[in-house]
Amino acid sequence: MNKIAILMVFIIFSCALISTILTLRPFGEPKSTEMDDYIIKNAQNETGSNNAVTSVVFDYRGFDTLGEATVLFTAVAGVLLVLRRNAHE
């Protein structure tokens, strides 16, 4: 019974992996250029930034950047907490 369950999970995982691989676009081919063109044309007017990359990172994807900064801060705080020296040592 256990071997059958493992085999079924393996088959389902393999089918999902194969279907994902078959739906990938060729390497280097952009998904669409519509968003790129929109950002290049409207970034300065909508965000006030002269640099399109800066406007994407801080304005269009601001919450994503905030999440990444939160994860980085949490990781650093955790490492410092684990590696700290106690006063009585």
pLDDT digits (tens, 9 = 90+) for 30-66: 777 788 888 888 888 988 888 888 888 888 888 888 8
Every domain of the chain and the residues it spans: 2-83
- The token duo for 2 is 């256990």
| Rounded Cα distance, 84 and 75, in Å | 14
Q: Given pLDDT bands bounded at 50, 70 and 90, which one contains residue 68?
A: very high
pTM: 0.45
For the chain, what percent of residues have pLDDT higher than 90? 36
Which residue matches tokens 């300065």? 44
Give the pLDDT score at 27: 80
